[in-house]
Amino acid sequence: MGLELSIIVIDLLFFILSGARIAMADGVYNVKDYGAAGDGQTDNTKAFETAWSAACAVQGKATIVIPEGAYLLGPTIFKGPCKGIMVMQVKGQLLASTHLEAYKQYWLHFQYTNGLVISGGGRFNGQGASAWPYNQCKKTNDCKPLPMNLVFSFVTNATIKSISSIDSKFFHIHVFESRNIIFDSIKISAPQDSPNTDGIHIADSTNIQVVNSVIGTGDDCISIGPGCTNLTIFNVLCGPGHGISVGSLGKNAGEKDVIGLNVSYCNLTGTTNGLRIKTLQSSPSRLKATDFLFEHIIMNNVYNPIIINQNYCPSANCPKKDPSLVKIKNIKYRNIMGTFLSPVAYNLVCSEAAPCEGVELSDISLKYNGNEKQAKNASICVHVYGSSNGNVKPDPCI
């Protein structure tokens, strides 16, 4: 009987270990197995980093599971390169630590990965209300930026889908030096008066898509910095916020061109701006912003619907200097309709040193809905060359 019992025990152990090997081969890594607690109070930074490291070392597809619960995290780096495709299935809510002294410029930073999927319907809560009073960047140039919720740098071939980012301390999502990323069905929200809470900021990246998403913040819903090519924004609901913006461009030496932007079937409601391109004066180097198409856009009580501003000043102490050296060319606005609140529907102020060329206004119907009896000077054009086609209301100045 003793020998038979031993054989049974050995067989049982073999079965358990075989099951463990099978589970490991499947590549599923639950953060709770690495010590994470979804109680909203325990610091889970180490547990998440350890789960990522284990999954990152596996060939094929590795899935990190974050079950329901509230997981408190300090600044965390999810770093590659990894041996296979990384999948993060977020069911619960991730809570950012409110201890500002622990941060640099990010909360959760994904970097150097090729093949990344983040999905699951979970929420990334930046708990920004605790930090917003410390944002003094508009008052002084000597300020420390607050941390962003999600940063993707040097990331290739990624899908970020069906997640929410709320109340980031600074930008919600920042994309840098990345390519081939789709943001699909993303929900981003922060109060209208929260400072610098841009929804998605994209810089030095190519083939980035933002589709089927809802973004309402205290700053730009989507902002596009220098060095971007082939960007697509489709079916995005924006508001509140500052609209969809390219720029500001021309601030730093060595900035690269912005080429190829398609914004279509978007709805902007109650935003400060609609479609905006902004560049700074006294550009340290020449660059261009070209081949943009904005079409099938609905604006509901947008204050400034269509803007090109090459005298942009982000702070209160910008002395007038040399004109911008950013060349804006081949910008098309087509099939845009709705209501606006400012006296100016088209405010196209370009640079004397590099006038705008190829600006097109086609089939636009914007109705003034402001407090004055009627819009005055509803179209302003400075150093801009282009054409208007079809029915364009208010009357254009090109």
Distance CA 306, CA 19 (A): 61
Decide if 47 contacts 55 (C-beta within 8 A): no
Amino acid at 295: E
| Catalytically annotated residue among 109, 174, 201, 242 | 242
Decide if 302 contacts 270 (C-beta within 8 A): yes
Distance CA 173, CA 158 (A): 14
The alpha carbon of residue 354 and the mean position of all alpha carbons in its chain are separated, in whole angstroms, by 29
Q: Assign residue 390 a region (left: φ > 0; alpha: ψ between -120 and 50; beta: otherwise).
A: left
Distance CA 206, CA 171 (A): 19
Decide if 230 contacts 202 (C-beta within 8 A): no
Q: Which residue has the tokens 């390519």?
A: 179
Residue 109 a catalytic site member: no
Strand, helix or coil for residue 71: strand
The alpha carbon of residue 166 and the mean position of all alpha carbons in its chain are separated, in whole angstroms, by 12
The alpha carbon of residue 121 and the mean position of all alpha carbons in its chain are separated, in whole angstroms, by 18
Q: Which residues are catalytic?
A: 242
